[in-house]
Structure 1
Amino acid sequence: MTNKRLLVPLAWVVVGAIAATAYIHRQELETPVMAQSLATSAVSSPKLPQSASPKAVLTPEELANIRVYEVANRSVVNIDTQTEQVDPVFMRRRVGQGSGSGSVIDKQGHILTNAHVIEDARVVEVTLSSGQTYPAEIIGQDREHDIAVLKINAPSDELVPLPLGKSEGLRVGQQVYALGNPFGLEGTLTKGIISSLNRSIEGRTGREMKSLIQTDAAMNPGNSGGPLLDSGARMIGMNVAIATRTGQNTGVGFAIPVNRIATIVPELIEHGRIVRPDHGIVLFREYTDRGVKIELIRPGSPAAEAGLQAIVQFETLRKGNMIYRTRTSDVTRGDWLAAVDGKPVESASDFLAIIDGYKPGQTVTLTIVRDGQEKQIKMTLGEA
């Protein structure tokens, strides 16, 4: 059995209803005592010091934790979903349920969460910290970045937007808090530190998610979409996944930095999706000291118009009234892509991350190696 680390999204699929309730009972015991014994006890036993106030004495650290919770919890929501699946054998429909977390981001009712929380959902409901539940509309989502925006029609006085912090300048060792609904237990706060920065993990689409925040603040299924907070109760990230071999928390959690969220959310609200630049370079081979091998270029794409060459070439053949497009391969052909606007490309993920920083219509300069010679080629990006 291999000992592999699994990256598990924090959304939770529920088959049955699970409820966990804790009760604490206090019972006062009274023992009848003879008056003589009481008098003797009063003389022989010292009096215990009485507290001036019945309230607990809290440390500054505890007060800071309480403040973070009381400020942020009003902005964190519980998200319940219903999905419908068809049994391929008996062709029967089965209804599945899921649970996750989210954050109120404005007074218009927009809710931030992970795309995987609402994936394939037919029904989405949002429950505010007040206990009020509202049906939610999916406004937009981006699966590659695992970010989604919902909208509820709730009175503005019930909506408390979560203050946004910044993800640049974060330090390893900095204290952070995760707030959400693990296992459906709403309003759960856990505390930890930033364990590392700029972590990369493979996302649900197979594309690498970069520059994530790693933390040991406990996260479990249901924490997906909830905020990662700094000590000022500001959101610095959105909880997205844990690394585990058991499916439960092992002290390695990841969050999407808030700066990336702040860039993507306006596009999701306006367009329902991320407007990505199109380049037409489909596949790469492994990196070498010359760059990344271009294996395939989509016909008619910006890369094809720029004159880039790939290992796989397309040829168009006409037979009568029919047109055929065939692929031919020649391992001696194909450019090596070394840099984009001077930024080195060491993998396909590097290239995609760099290109995502541009808009359709912008022109980039590609540094390529062809037949052992370095060349500069300009490419104008289209819209994906």
Structure 2
Amino acid sequence: MDIKGWQSWIRPAGLGVLIVLAMLIGGIIATRSSAHGPASTATAAAAASSGSSTGRTLPVASNSAIGNLPDLVDRVKPSVVAINTVVTGRNGQRQGEGLGTGIVLDKSGNILTNYHVIDGAGQVSVEFTDGSMLPGKVVGSDPGNDLAVVQVTGAPASLLVPAKFADSDGVRVGESVFAIGNPFSLEFTVTSGIVSGLNRQSEGGITGRPVRGVIQTDAAVNPGNSGGPLFDADGNVIGVNTSIENPTGQRVFVGIGFAISSNTAQRFLPDMIAGKPITHPQLGVAGVTLNTVNAKEAGVDAQKGVYVTAVNAGSAAERAGLKPAAAASSAGVLPPGGDVITAIDGKPMTTIEQLAKTVDGYKVGDSVKLSVIRAGKAMDVTAALREWTGQ
């Protein structure tokens, strides 16, 4: 898992050490072992069904400290599982093994995890806290959000303890959190910390699509924690642990972990459980947030909005007629000639991050009205959002 790029964690068979395959910055936190070099990451899907506790939204805990952590752990630990995978090649030959974490969603046996935990897995098995193991099947996935749902069948009702999900929009920086997972194969390890930041962006996972609204935490997460829960001080899930960042390039936790927000995780759960394909919309522009300095450089009247620096060929933005800036001028100076997007469907847009997150909230095929300033004149254009393809 990773905020600026992703990488597998590999443990060669028969060796007790971890070898890191580094790709850009950050690291996916699923453990992968291989006897033949880097193993593929695995694929999964996320979902919720009737009878699932994920169908209702609970208030986020406001506690500033977790004084009853041992009791909380005892209560929520049965909702956490270990997910073991076997990666096989095209000829069916065993190529490696992986370990991640999952969250029990409902009494139907649906379990949420990261897509990269089960991507490429020929076999999936789920281990519960009592040590029992059951085969799992990937029933749906949302690779663009690095989420997947694995289902087990035949599990006793006592093993399936659904986790409760909180409304992640109510999470505050500084509140206490804890994580349960399987770092370095140390099963059901508990770590704690605080929410260090909100609305981070996780980029460059398996699909390369940025995941927005990510929660930053200093609760220790490491390879094997992927797909596991980040709990609030009331024992409700506020995020799915997915990546770490280490500017030194080493693939170990140094105080910065990231979790996909619970609201993002729950958005497509019903469709994932049903096995439906998940798509995400794309406008197809690159841009920068305007301010008083760069607006003057670009020669535009607006001082707030998103200045369009590039438009993807064939994108919704190109079809709507959005105009990008001219070829780059001197280093560090915005070239002139680009449109300024000031609103979507009447909602003001002041940053590129806000624009991207707003587009994410629509569906593929939705038409949106873009308020634009072009050469000093205000106008509206309509864009029909197209499917995100990685372009």
Match of 2:369 among 355, 365, 371: 365
CA displacement, residues 15-64 of structure 1 (integer Å, 9 cap, x when unaligned):
37xxxxxxxxxxxxxxxxxxxxxxxxxxxxxxxxxxxxxxxxxxxx9971
Match of 2:227 among 225, 228, 249: 225
Amino acid at match of 2:348: K
Quick one: structure 1 residues 286 and 94, their matched pair in 2 at CA, closer, same or farther if it must change by over 3 Å?
farther
Question: Partners of 2:203 and 2:282 in 1: how far apart?
Answer: 22
Question: Partners of 2:102 and 2:127 in 1: how far apart?
Answer: 10
Quick one: structure 1 residues 5 and 377, their matched pair in 2 at CA, closer, same or farther if it must change by over 3 Å?
closer
Match of 2:211 among 206, 209, 213: 209
Question: Partners of 2:386 and 2:256 in 1: how far apart?
Answer: 39
- Displacement of 1:302 in angstroms is 5.0
Quick one: structure 1 residues 303 and 156, their matched pair in 2 at CA, closer, same or farther if it must change by over 3 Å?
farther
Match of 2:83 among 79, 98, 102: 79
1:80-95 equivalences under 5 Å are 80-85=84-89, 95=95
1:118-133 equivalences under 5 Å are 118-133=118-133
**Do residues 292 (structure 1) and 293 (structure 2) align?**
no
Higher strand share: 1
Contact 2:144/2:280 (8 A) holds in 1: no
Question: Partners of 1:236 and 1:350 in 2: how far apart?
Answer: 21
Specify the alignment match of 2:201 in structure 1: 200
Contact 1:292/1:345 (8 A) holds in 2: no
Question: Partners of 1:136 and 1:92 in 2: how far apart?
Answer: 18
- Displacement of 1:274 in angstroms is 2.1
Specify the alignment match of 1:19 in structure 2: none
**Do residues 191 (structure 1) and 192 (structure 2) align?**
yes
1:158-307 equivalences under 5 Å are 158-204=159-205, 205-244=207-246, 245=248, 246-277=250-281, 279=283, 281=284, 283-284=285-286, 289=295, 291-298=307-314, 303=317, 306-307=320-321
Contact 1:292/1:346 (8 A) holds in 2: no
Question: Partners of 2:384 and 2:350 in 1: how far apart?
Answer: 18
Question: Partners of 1:247 and 1:302 in 2: how far apart?
Answer: 38
Q: Which has the higher contact order (CA 8 A, sep 6+)?
A: 2
- Displacement of 1:171 in angstroms is 2.5
TM-score, structure 1 as length reference = 0.71
Contact 1:295/1:311 (8 A) holds in 2: no
Question: Partners of 1:161 and 1:139 in 2: how far apart?
Answer: 18
Quick one: structure 1 residues 230 and 374, their matched pair in 2 at CA, closer, same or farther if it must change by over 3 Å?
same
Quick one: structure 1 residues 72 and 150, their matched pair in 2 at CA, closer, same or farther if it must change by over 3 Å?
same
Question: Partners of 1:361 and 1:70 in 2: how far apart?
Answer: 46
Question: Partners of 2:199 and 2:102 in 1: how far apart?
Answer: 23
CA displacement, residues 170-223 of structure 1 (integer Å, 9 cap, x when unaligned):
222222111011111211111112222222332413333322222111111101
Amino acid at match of 2:29: L
Question: Partners of 1:273 and 1:248 in 2: how far apart?
Answer: 34
Amino acid at match of 1:160: V
CA displacement, residues 224-248 of structure 1 (integer Å, 9 cap, x when unaligned):
1110112221111111111223212
**Do residues 96 (structure 1) and 96 (structure 2) align?**
yes
Question: Partners of 1:206 and 1:382 in 2: how far apart?
Answer: 17
Question: Partners of 2:195 and 2:34 in 1: how far apart?
Answer: 34
Specify the alignment match of 1:116 in structure 2: 116
Specify the alignment match of 1:8 in structure 2: 27
- Displacement of 1:155 in angstroms is 2.9
Specify the alignment match of 1:344 in structure 2: 349
> Residue 115 of structure 1: SS of its match in structure 2?
coil
Specify the alignment match of 2:330 in structure 1: none
Question: Partners of 2:226 and 2:383 in 1: how far apart?
Answer: 38
Question: Partners of 1:346 and 1:62 in 2: how far apart?
Answer: 35
Specify the alignment match of 1:57 in structure 2: none
Amino acid at match of 1:284: A
Specify the alignment match of 1:69 in structure 2: 73
Unaligned runs of 5+ in 2: 1-22, 36-64, 301-306, 327-334
- Displacement of 1:165 in angstroms is 1.9
Quick one: structure 1 residues 230 and 376, their matched pair in 2 at CA, closer, same or farther if it must change by over 3 Å?
same
- Displacement of 1:285 in angstroms is 5.5
- Displacement of 1:261 in angstroms is 1.3
Question: Partners of 1:191 and 1:10 in 2: how far apart?
Answer: 17
TM-score, structure 2 as length reference = 0.70
Q: State the Cα RMSD in Å.
A: 3.1
Amino acid at match of 1:243: E
Contact 2:167/2:238 (8 A) holds in 1: yes
> Residue 214 of structure 2: SS of its match in structure 1?
strand
Question: Partners of 1:71 and 1:84 in 2: how far apart?
Answer: 36
Quick one: structure 1 residues 213 and 332, their matched pair in 2 at CA, closer, same or farther if it must change by over 3 Å?
closer
Contact 1:144/1:203 (8 A) holds in 2: no
Amino acid at match of 2:309: K
Q: Kindly name which structure, 1 or 2, has the bigger radius of gyration based on alpha carbons.
A: 1
Contact 1:109/1:156 (8 A) holds in 2: no
> Residue 71 of structure 1: SS of its match in structure 2?
helix
> Residue 192 of structure 1: SS of its match in structure 2?
strand
Quick one: structure 1 residues 343 and 138, their matched pair in 2 at CA, closer, same or farther if it must change by over 3 Å?
farther
CA displacement, residues 257-315 of structure 1 (integer Å, 9 cap, x when unaligned):
11221212223223533243465x3x5355654511343341xx655654445689xxx
> Residue 68 of structure 2: SS of its match in structure 1?
helix
Question: Partners of 1:173 and 1:308 in 2: how far apart?
Answer: 41
